[in-house]
Structure 1
Amino acid sequence: MMVRKELIQDNIELHEESSEFLSIRKEILEYPKPELLIGYIPDDSVDYEEFYICVTEDALATVNDIISKIKAEQEARLYNTINKKIKRWETQGSELEVDEEIVKNSRPLIEVEVESEYPIFSSTTPQFQIVNAEQMRDGYMELRCYDTAMNNVFKKRINAEVQVAPQSITAEVQTTCTYPSNSTTQYQYEIKDAEETYKQCQKKILSDILTVIFL
């Protein structure tokens, strides 16, 4: 990529201590052209990114030649990918079957010789006359359609009805218990005496109060 020399000089002036161009500042200032070529070096062997800059005309010419060669190789590779070259025919044994299907002359051609009197056309001048259409056998022509039979499909049955009525039947099912049984269930609520329940509640409350006091 061509970069203007003024931008590089501004970078050096703004970053006098941290600019990447400090080591080649003298070469950049002495370069006669207004633009410098800066390129990226793709190298996966290092963890950092590398760039190159051409500060002489010889270096610029060398890099341009390398770029032109790489570009030509890529274009040739792309051209070969799109346009395949015709390779030499490699026989697979099918040419015998193809040769059998080709029509060939098994014998020499017949030579025919024709003799006639000369001149072929008579020297007399033809006499033309007017002839009407009705006087000739094929004087009139009639344009007719083709006599083709139209095979149409006709309906053999227009409507058909079918009525189905199920036959009525009566079916009954009765389940008879093999072992008849008669069982009843009886229960009764048991309610405690109210006074006894009240006394138990008082004892429980008193016990809880004493427990809290002593704790």
Structure 2
Amino acid sequence: MKQLLFILSALASTSALAQQCDIDATQLTADYTITNQHKSQQSTQSLTVWRNNTQVAHQSETLTELWQQLSNNQLRPVRYFNAEQRGIEYQPSEVRGVQNWSAKSQLVDNHLIAKMTLVSTQGEGCNEVKNYALNEGDSQFKLSFLPQAKLVKTFSVTNKKGQTETVLSLNHVNSDEQAIAAQFANWDRWQTTDYADIGDNENDPFLAKMINLGFIEHGATGFYNQQGEAIQGEHQH
């Protein structure tokens, strides 16, 4: 009997260990593909989410948007232009729209997840995936979420009326702390201009170009394509 209890105890311990996950969700990078479908037209682009404790950045081909979580939980954003290695700094009061850390750090706001229905759970430990769904108005949301890493695995927003669909798909996760710290330090070295001071620097060719392209506007933060247009469906996050 004692031997049986020992075996059962050992199996329980092994199962518990298998369900543990030692991933550091506060310091990692996650590579995504964003696919936009409108009727028969389709476009794709890449997005990398960088997390470094109280900082998170969304890096696309041309833009990187970085948010710092302040002690009062407000978010201070900086929009970097990758090729020019220049940036625009905003104050929290200058930004409209979603100012929620979960929306920035994991791409889907916790408030939206709370509204969704949990359909199923798969795997365990670091590989645990929770599948959610929500129908709201003309929009249908489907989410596969990695709770241990607090990362979206796949997220789709379908608008049946507008015949559009935006799909976010996770490709790769990396937790190289030195590389992450080095990248944030590199961004910090780039020349930045306060949003409030742009009017005093209109002769700056870089700023003039970005204003004309529509990349600099009051309260604009989000995912953008190379034309400075907001990616469809981003506001749903």
Q: How would you bin the TM-score normalised by the shorter chain?
A: under 0.3
Is the helix fraction higher in 1 or 2? 1
- With normalisation by structure 1, the TM-score equals 0.16
- With normalisation by structure 2, the TM-score equals 0.15
Larger radius of gyration: 1
Is the strand fraction higher in 1 or 2? 2
Greater relative contact order (CA < 8 Å, ≥ 6 in sequence): 2
